[in-house]
Amino acid sequence: MLLTSRRLRAALLAVASASLVGAVLPAPVPLGIGDSLFPHLGNPGYDVLSYDIGLTYGGDNSKPLNAVTRIEARATQTLEHVNLDFAHGTVQSVEVNGTRARYATSGEDLVITPAKPVHRGSRTIITVRHTSNPVGNASDGGWVRTGDGLAMANQADAAHRVFPSNDHPSDKAYFTFRVTAPKEHTVVANGLPSAKPRAVKGAQEAVVWTYRTQHPMATELAQVSIGKSAVLHRTGPHGLPVRDVVPAADAQRLEPWLKKTPAHLEWMEERVGRYPFETYGVLIAEADTGFELETQTLSLFERSLFTGTGYPEWYVDSIMVHELAHHWFGNSVSPRSWSDLWLNEGHATWYEALYAEKERPLEERMKAAYTNSDGWRKAGGPPAAPKPSRPGQKISIFRPVVYDGSALVLYALRQEIGEKAFDTVERRWVSEHRDAVATTADFVKLSSDVAGRDLSGFFQAWLYGQRTPPMPGHPQWRSAATDGPEVHR
């Protein structure tokens, strides 16, 4: 997909969205910002500034939680209707700026009709009282039921299965979580505690925990852990607070893994600069998710990754670095659209591979990726123009082409411009776009600026071509799928 065509589509979408949200609609309809992979995600007309999410957990992870989500947003255009992404919960009431508002559901949208239009430029507070249901198809994401409670896995489009939101990574916001849970449970969430846990007045068996982020966050990165957990504290580089959350019974067994994190942080900082957030840690859940996840400041891991016998130590180490690397690439610098996912996963895989280089040489891994690259592109699309997910399998956008196939693009870039220029690109990327969103076009421009020449043709072939271009410095490398006619979409 050409960069120019994406810009044109975005411009046409903006015009269409303006007319949709400004008109009186005959019936509630789901909107969306036109993301090519998730067209109904996100909503036009406003920018979320902050979320304040209250959750009440009764100790049974098979029952819905009572919840209140308070959203502060700035209107970017006058709105007679405000759409939020929300599914898998029951809405009990909605208020806009303290006044009750009418609401209806349409698809996975909650369509709100305020008593008065929300005017462009105004700050608006939307309060939704609802339930948040942890029971359902685990493959859809959202709440993860663990052996002793709950955790979240909201990637790619599942935060709105937990709380009403503008569920797209292009709209980052600050978060506050206020979670009430039985006193025998421990609650940990993104960010740092903003108040000491306190007993609920008149209910001695319940405690309220409060956390707040110091940096904006995409909804897909939200994390709340509720369980009979141990929270282990240590110090990382520059005095960084490091806290790990593990099943209490496993704390001693997992300590050999947990104590590695400060060294992992130092290793990453040597390559790309200072860690971008207020804290970091590992959340180990007794759950079978089939994946690990870079939830901001508290990465989610399956317990079996550390307690099983099928993985060598160097491999587990490299996976821990992969999720940590996302905190620079994907969390601090978030994708403007889901088609920019290669920037997240390609970079995390790149640093995973660098960390494991002594056990598996980088060139060997990249050569293997090159061999498979054409097949990956045929199955999943080029790195920056991935095919949509398969019906009913939303996380199927996470294909090999966005992992090793995209790390291969970074290897080709380093081969093309040299290691010193490549390292400059990496450091400037996470510095210049910190706490923001960025696009593939932004990465192409920065790389060209650092290289001192136009690299748009290089990236056009590597990111959008159906075939993998020749590898700079390795003209002898061949893909296993190079025979036959080129496939065009």
Give mean pLDDT, residues 118-141.
91
Say what the pLDDT of residue 31 is: 86
Return the residue matching tokens 């050409």.
2
Most confident of 12-21, 22-31, 141-150, 473-482: 141-150
Say what the pLDDT of residue 390 is: 76
Looking at per-residue pLDDT, the higher value among 275 and 1 belongs to 275
The yes-or-no verdict on residue 441 having pLDDT over 50 is yes
Say what the pLDDT of residue 389 is: 78
pLDDT level of residue 65 (50, 70, 90 thresholds): very high
The yes-or-no verdict on residue 20 having pLDDT over 50 is no
pLDDT digits 0-9 by tens, 75-94: 999 999 999 999 999 999 99
Give mean pLDDT, residues 38-45.
92
Dihedral, CA of residue 325, residue 331, residue 334 and residue 337, to nearest 10: 90
Say what the pLDDT of residue 318 is: 97
pLDDT digits 0-9 by tens, 143-197: 999 999 999 999 988 999 999 999 999 999 999 999 999 999 999 999 999 989 9
Say what the pLDDT of residue 203 is: 63
Give mean pLDDT, residues 109-138.
94
**pTM for this entry:** 0.91
Asked if 386 and 357 count as a contact pair (C-beta separation under 8 A), the reply is: no
Percent of the chain with pLDDT over 90: 83
Residue 156, preceding peptide bond in cis (omega within 30° of 0): yes
The yes-or-no verdict on residue 141 having pLDDT over 90 is no
Residue 177 tokens read as: 């979580």
pLDDT digits 0-9 by tens, 4-15: 333 333 333 343
Sign of the CA dihedral with 82 first, then 86, 90, and 96 last: negative
CA distances from 65 to 88, 135, 142, 312 (A): 11, 11, 13, 39
Say what the pLDDT of residue 445 is: 98
pLDDT level of residue 397 (50, 70, 90 thresholds): confident
Instruction: Output the DSSP codes for 210-227.
Output: EEE-SS-B-GGG--EEEE
Return the residue matching tokens 């980088």.
362
pLDDT digits 0-9 by tens, 217-263: 999 999 999 999 999 999 999 999 999 999 999 999 999 999 999 99
Looking at per-residue pLDDT, the higher value among 124 and 156 belongs to 124
The yes-or-no verdict on residue 19 having pLDDT over 60 is no
pLDDT level of residue 487 (50, 70, 90 thresholds): very low
Average pLDDT, the chain: 91
The yes-or-no verdict on residue 47 having pLDDT over 60 is yes
Indicate the residue type of 468: T
The yes-or-no verdict on residue 120 having pLDDT over 50 is yes
Residue among 393, 349, 401, 396 nearest 375 (CA): 401
Burial category of 390 from C-beta neighbours within 10 Å (exposed 0-12, middle 13-18, buried 19 and up): exposed
Taking each helix axis from N to C terminus, what angle separates 404-417 and 341-355, rounded to the nearest 10 degrees?
A: 80
Say what the pLDDT of residue 115 is: 96
**Maximum pairwise Cα distance, the chain:** 74
Say what the pLDDT of residue 308 is: 85
Asked if 133 and 123 count as a contact pair (C-beta separation under 8 A), the reply is: no
The yes-or-no verdict on residue 338 having pLDDT over 70 is yes
